[in-house]
Amino acid sequence: MSVRGIRGAITVDVNEEGPILTATLELLKGIVNANALVPDDICNVFITVTHDLDATFPASAIRQMAGWELVPLMCALEVPVKGSLEKCIRLMVLVNTDKTQKQIEHVYYGGAQALRPDLTNK
């Protein structure tokens, strides 16, 4: 069994708690479903947000999910590169899996699809 990283990103329209939490859950559930994961598979989830999203901690949405209470979560700010995608939440989910790198399904929603078109057009 290996530890693999699964990437995902999603954009929101406004810097408000509700949309940020909803988008975080949508993205995580997309990653979980696409890769047939259960919480016990998860090593940790690293979450970043762009500087324009400061209304809440995205991890608080994940912490409310049944079975995710013990999964280590960490939030941070994305590097503020000029001209980069705005209002974006990114996840790096580290998992224990027998899947190869090619079998991993990365998930990009909304405007975040522009970040990795090579992975969103599988």
Q: Annotated catalytic sites, by residue?
A: 7, 63, 75, 78, 90, 108, 116
d(CA 73, CA 9): 16
Closest CA to 10 of 122, 86, 80, 101: 86
| Residue 100 structure tokens | 């190869």
| Residue 44 structure tokens | 């940790």
Strands 107-108 and 2-11: parallel
Instruction: Compute the chain's Rg from CA coordinates.
Output: 14
Alpha-carbon distances, residue 91 vs 88, 105 (angstroms): 10, 13
